[in-house]
Amino acid sequence: MERRTIEVIPDAERYGTPRSQFTLWFGANMQVTAIVDGALAVVFGADALWAILALLIGNVLGGIVMALHAAQGPRLGVPQMISSRAQFGVYGAVLPLSLVILMYMGFAATGSVLAGQAVSEMLHLDNSDAGILIFGALTAVIAITGYRLIHIAGRVASVVGVLGLGYLMVRVFTQYDVGAHVGNRGFEAATFLLAVGLGAGWQLTFGPYVADYSRYLPRSASTRATFWSTFAGSVVGSQLAMMLGALTAAVAGNAFLSDQVGFLGDLAGPAFAALLIYLVIAVGKLAVNCLNAYGGLMSILTTVTAFDGRSRISAAARAGYIVGFIAVSMAIALAASDDFLTNFKNFVLLLLMVFTPWSAINLVDYYLVSRERVDIPALYDPDGRYGRWSIPALTCYVVGVAVQIPFLATKMYTGAITKQLDGADISWIVGLIVTAVLYWLWARRTANPPARTVHPAEAGHGDLAAKSAT
């Protein structure tokens, strides 16, 4: 069972190669929620061929940002949101952290709806509620065990996902006249940009926890290899799943909309094949839901310890936080399983609005302002280099969120400029560019990065002690 939580991982406990990031993120993306995400582009008006291209563009653009976060893990050895204290301050980081926790909980809940349906079908249960609870218990076991088992789950999900989703793709082409259902609509900018946003949003929402799973890599691990392994695993896995979703929505229409999991089981064919597909769905969702629970733990602990100065948490407290997080997400899943597709679309696009500015600030500071130089012990010290609050980062973050409002296209609100663009949602592009430029212009004059990265002395169990520069 993993001992570490939000403290720095000592060099003696670092292991593995960047290749491990590929299977983790490939397995986490070859799953049913990514299929649904791809289907959304077609459901909301895009032709399947244009949707697949748009999703690819979105996945590539978002994947670049996501993988740049991953490359910070080996260098710093800390969870992703701990590193954001270097931009926002020890207390200031709590603002984006609060939204991160809501994100994890939302994804855990929405994913549990589909996983619960699959588990219920496998076990021939009368409704999905029992399946959701069983799935939650399995998630808790893996998340509490921790980092190593999560990576193993990713490798298993990679193999299972390739076999299962590959089989379903073959069934789509053999059971339907795919050619008759795609390529029938012309290009529409609004639906194309919506699909780009869905792909980019899918990738960008991994940003706040992606380094959690690369922080155990040796400090000497190649930054470039870490980037490309993470990028390839996430983009290839999600694009394959989303392509299946777009094609399935195009050929099946309402049959897929009314029961996504049940439809995929029927598509599999014989009862034995359907049972295996339900297992594939459950395994894929288990892999990514463990990331949500584990990332949720890191974010909660980062928030709590900002005010008491701790860098380590007991095993019992760690398990308690995970169980509590999963219990709340299960409660949400049980209460909000209706109208899944529409709710999920709006959830993803809303998250995109609040996480794009955070990614812009984190990456601009790390790569352009601080140039990969971080005072790691100061990340845990409100009186240290980064202080309690960072006015530049917090101001740029609020501006980055606000500037997107006129460009939003959601069920709850459509911005004035979006209406002039025939419903095309480009809010995330505006938020990314405006926040990055504003923060760079401000922070390059006010930031105070160390001359070189400062690491804690690794005496005992790696507690933060005297500083030593490397």
The amino acid present at 43, given as its one-letter code, is V
Look at residue 469 and tell me whether its pLDDT is greater than 80: no
Which stretch of 68-77, 254-263, 295-304 has the lowest confidence by average pLDDT? 254-263
155-180: average pLDDT: 94
Stronger pLDDT, 168 or 98, i.e. the higher one: 168
pLDDT (0 to 100) of residue 323: 94
pLDDT digits (tens, 9 = 90+) for 219-258: 999 999 999 999 999 999 999 999 999 999 999 987 887 7
Look at residue 464 and tell me whether its pLDDT is greater than 60: no
pLDDT (0 to 100) of residue 341: 54
Look at residue 68 and tell me whether its pLDDT is greater than 90: yes
pLDDT digits (tens, 9 = 90+) for 391-406: 999 999 999 999 998 8
Mean of per-residue pLDDT scores for the chain? 89
pLDDT digits (tens, 9 = 90+) for 315-328: 888 999 999 999 99
Indicate if the alpha-carbon torsion angle 343, 210, 196, 280 is positive or negative. Answer: negative
Which stretch of 388-397, 437-446, 457-466 has the lowest confidence by average pLDDT? 457-466
pLDDT (0 to 100) of residue 418: 78
The amino acid present at 291, given as its one-letter code, is L
Look at residue 196 and tell me whether its pLDDT is greater than 60: yes
Number of neighbours of residue 307 by Cβ within 10 angstroms: 12
pLDDT (0 to 100) of residue 411: 65
| Three-state SS annotation for the chain | CCCCCCCCCCHHHCCCCCHHHHHHHHHHHCCHHHHHHHHHHHHCCCCHHHHHHHHHHHHHHHHHHHHHHHCHHHHHCCCHHHHCHHHHCCCCCHHHHHHHHHHHHHHHHHHHHHHHHHHHHHHCCCCHHHHHHHHHHHHHHHHHHCHHHHHHHHHHHHHHHHHHHHHHHHHHHHHCCHHHCCCCCCCCHHHHHHHHHHHHHHHHCCHHHHHHHCCCCCCCCCHHHHHHHHHHHHHHHHHHHHHHHHHHHHHHCHHHHHCHHHHHHHHHCCHHHHHHHHHHHHHHHHHHHHHHHHHHHHHHHHHHHCCCCCCCCCHHHHHHHHHHHHHHHHHHHHHCCCCHHHHHHHHHHHHHHHHHHHHHHHHHHHHHHCCCCCECHHHHCCCCCCCCCCHHHHHHHHHHHHCCHHHCECCCCECHHHHHCCCCCCHHHHHHHHHHHHHHHHHHHHCCCCCCCEEECCCCCCCCCCEEEC
Q: Give residue 270's pLDDT band: very low, low, confident or very high (50, 70, 90).
A: very high
Q: Could you give the CA distance from residue 127 to residue 387 in angstroms, rounded to a whole number?
A: 51
359-378: average pLDDT: 95
